[in-house]
């Protein structure tokens, strides 16, 4: 399989992309999906979600004080 960056991958191989996708290669081609969960149920007036590209994860913190995490009741991914 040839990915978007021009790299060749063997059949039955898997890898993580720089933009946090998990990909696999088989005879049908390349299949990719996000490797992280996205917060959807939290207090959006008081809090905000921040994506960390290095860890491929979200953190939900208070808008006025990023040192305080907010509870998240539901995630999707």
pTM: 0.73
Domains of the chain: 1-35 (2.10.70.10), 38-76 (2.20.25.590)
Q: Which two tokens stand for residue 31?
A: 């299949």
DSSP single-letter state for residue 5 = T
Give residue-wise pLDDT tens across range 34-69: 999 999 999 999 999 999 999 999 999 999 999 999
Mapped onto helix, strand or coil, the DSSP state of residue 47 is: strand
Q: How confident is the model at residue 4 (pLDDT cuts 50, 70, 90)?
A: confident
Q: In angstroms, rounded to a whole number, what is the distance separating the alpha carbons of residues 38 and 17?
A: 17
């Amino acid at each position: 399989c040839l990915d978007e960056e021009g790299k060749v991958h063997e059949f039955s191989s898997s890898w993580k992309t720089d933009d946090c996708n998990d990909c696999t290669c088989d005879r049908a081609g390349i299949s990719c999906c996000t490797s992280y969960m996205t917060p959807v149920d939290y207090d959006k007036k008081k809090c905000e979600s921040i994506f960390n590209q290095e860890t491929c994860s979200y953190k939900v913190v208070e808008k006025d004080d990023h040192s305080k995490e907010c509870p998240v009741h539901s995630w999707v991914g």
